[in-house]
Structure 1
């Protein structure tokens, strides 16, 4: 019995990871219906792991469950996006301040930030970046993951980690504004440089400025989106 349970649980983990990634990148769009039959066909898993994955996604706030209706991908609302950024402006400047202090004595962390700085520097020289932003998206995702993983305060770290799926969905929207990519690269370079120079105050200020600019880009998109009917004001 335990082996059988372990088997479907492992499949549920795979289905969960796949659907979460598709929601974060908008491959599964806000408001899209998630038919159980379609998900079974799409994932190749049976109904039990699919149902468990949907339950976990609902607990994450990425899927909406209503009685007698198929699950749907959670909509992105102006209100929730604004609330998310208000919270991020509290958490992430505090986190990067701690990371900047920790990097002074943590050579592994220092080297990881140096590697990211080199990648952002290389990206800043790429002429084709605006038409091929995948490397930029990967680098910013790794920066965010490293920041949350390296935050010394466990409660702060856990709070940032819990927000990552929702932050990732909004990152996808922000990166649709190709005109802002180079500015964002510059902002990430400033954050990396501030950490490497052990300047917590500058790092926190750079993070706050970056979040403000990202929020502006996202709201410009949401307010003019052609699928505005999916948004809740």
Structure 2
């Protein structure tokens, strides 16, 4: 007897389809829509969409109003501040652990990835938007550091924070020079980790996240 696609897999597919629609701007942030709208845009059935919306609401991406539809979050200044404040608390603790216990080769590999990306960016059109192209290296750096804590509860919280940062960045414009500045801040943190100077690494990642907050608020 044949069985259909497992319910969990369908829900995960619906979840990713909705996120893809948000990040491709098919679904504008701050808008309201119905489940029917989501069915049409994502090509997903209503059951998996309902399951996906529960997760997205827990993630803080949408608010489900029983009588007035689904509201997509607006990346407000307060949301940006709250997100980066929480990230700073987690990452300051994580980088101390990372600086003390990460393999020297892993630190070197991260440094080389950053240097290659900086060289690529130096050859880019100065007016080009690099927001989407730097997501992978941002993830490697920040998630790699947080994973060093080996704490499942923190990993879950950080996944949601990282997702919220992607939401925030959909309204941002990051030029090559801005991204280079950010990556050079990463390199300073990695240099401190390479020296096994955990206090310096903690201070530098705090400065980096404060600068990132200012950049996302348009203050730098």
**Shorter-chain TM-score: what band?**
0.7 to 0.9
Name whichever of 57-66 and 185-194 sits farther off: 185-194
Structure-2 change in CA distance of 1:126 and 1:193 (3 Å): farther
The structure in which a higher percent of residues are helix is: 1
Structure-2 change in CA distance of 1:147 and 1:194 (3 Å): same
Who is 1:226 aligned against?
Answer: none
Who is 1:169 aligned against?
Answer: 167
Cα distance in 1, alignment partners of residues 146 and 152 from structure 2? 10
Residue-by-residue CA offset, 1:103-139 (whole Å, 9 max, x unaligned): 1xx3664454244334344345434365252433331
- SS state of the match for residue 189, structure 1? helix
Who is 1:18 aligned against?
Answer: 17
Q: Is residue 2:89 matched to residue 1:90?
A: yes
Who is 1:34 aligned against?
Answer: 33
The answer (yes or no) to whether the contact 1:95–1:156 under 8 Å persists in 2 is no
TM-score (norm 1): 0.78
Who is 1:76 aligned against?
Answer: 75
The offset of 1:182, in angstroms, is 2.1
Who is 2:200 aligned against?
Answer: 202
Structure-2 change in CA distance of 1:36 and 1:153 (3 Å): closer
The answer (yes or no) to whether the contact 2:63–2:70 under 8 Å persists in 1 is yes
Cα distance in 2, alignment partners of residues 116 and 129 from structure 1? 21
Q: CA RMSD in A?
A: 2.8
Q: Is residue 2:113 matched to residue 1:116?
A: yes
Cα distance in 1, alignment partners of residues 108 and 160 from structure 2? 26
Cα distance in 2, alignment partners of residues 8 and 154 from structure 1? 24
Report matched runs for 1:134-153 at 5 Å.
Answer: 134-153=132-151
Unaligned runs of 5+ in 1: 222-233
Name whichever of 199-208 and 157-166 sits farther off: 157-166
The answer (yes or no) to whether the contact 1:25–1:169 under 8 Å persists in 2 is no
Cα distance in 2, alignment partners of residues 76 and 132 from structure 1? 19
Name whichever of 129-138 and 28-37 sits farther off: 129-138
- SS state of the match for residue 203, structure 1? helix
> Paired residues, what number?
217
